[in-house]
């Protein structure tokens, strides 16, 4: 059988502490010198993002848009459908549109003393019209404030 002889020198604890302190001071000086050289050259370090970091950044950038869109979808439906009962029965009178009539001509006819733009706007809102185009034979409500001009 062969014996293997290992000879190592084990430093004393005080010497080991001294060597470790020298290594720390040496690496601190190298780091400080590198940082000073980089600061004096005016170059900044480039930000490197991993794939995970890029995904997190993309999610954080898109988060405000997602929140705004969600709020619009959730809260927007209330503006379209309301539970209002509508206008009271006595607050308007109805009339049938004749051939060649427009909302403008009807507004001038039922309320000659008022601005036709305001009258047309109230008729459109009262009848929940999408456009100001009316067709012959269509029944529309006229606000009672303008009386029965026809």
Q: Which residues are paired to 141 by β-bridges?
A: 94
Q: Which residues are paired to 96 by β-bridges?
A: 139
Cα(101)–Cα(110) distance, rounded to whole angstroms?
12
| pLDDT for 105 | 92
Cα(135)–Cα(102) distance, rounded to whole angstroms?
8
The secondary structure element, H or E, covering residue 104 is: helix 103-110
State percent of the chain over pLDDT 70: 73
Domain map (residue ranges) of the chain: 13-45, 47-79, 89-146
34: left (phi over 0), alpha (psi -120 to 50) or beta: alpha
Mean pLDDT, 10 residues at a time, the chain of 150 residues: 65 77 78 67 74 93 93 72 61 88 91 91 88 89 74
| pLDDT for 65 | 93
DSSP 135: -
The answer to whether the CB of 137 falls within 8 A of the CB of 96 is yes
| pLDDT for 40 | 62
The secondary structure element, H or E, covering residue 141 is: strand 139-143
What class, spelled out in words, does domain 89-146 have in CATH? Answer: alpha beta
Cα(9)–Cα(78) distance, rounded to whole angstroms?
84
* Of 26, 130, 126, 22, nearest in space to 84 by CA: 126
């Amino acid at each position: 059988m062969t014996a293997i002889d290992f000879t190592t020198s084990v430093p004393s604890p005080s010497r080991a502490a001294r060597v470790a302190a020298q290594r720390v001071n040496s690496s601190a000086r190298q780091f400080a010198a590198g940082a000073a050289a980089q600061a004096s050259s005016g170059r900044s370090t480039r930000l490197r993002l991993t794939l995970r970091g890029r995904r997190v950044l993309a999610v954080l950038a898109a988060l405000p848009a997602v929140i705004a869109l969600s709020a619009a979808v959730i809260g927007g439906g209330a503006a379209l459908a309301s539970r209002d009962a509508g206008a009271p029965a006595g607050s308007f009178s109805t009339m049938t549109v004749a051939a060649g009539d427009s909302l403008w001509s009807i507004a001038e006819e039922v309320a000659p003393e008022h601005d036709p733009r305001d009258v047309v706007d109230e008729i459109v809102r009262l009848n929940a019209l999408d456009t100001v185009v009316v067709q012959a034979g269509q029944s529309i409500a006229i606000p009672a404030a303008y009386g029965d001009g026809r």
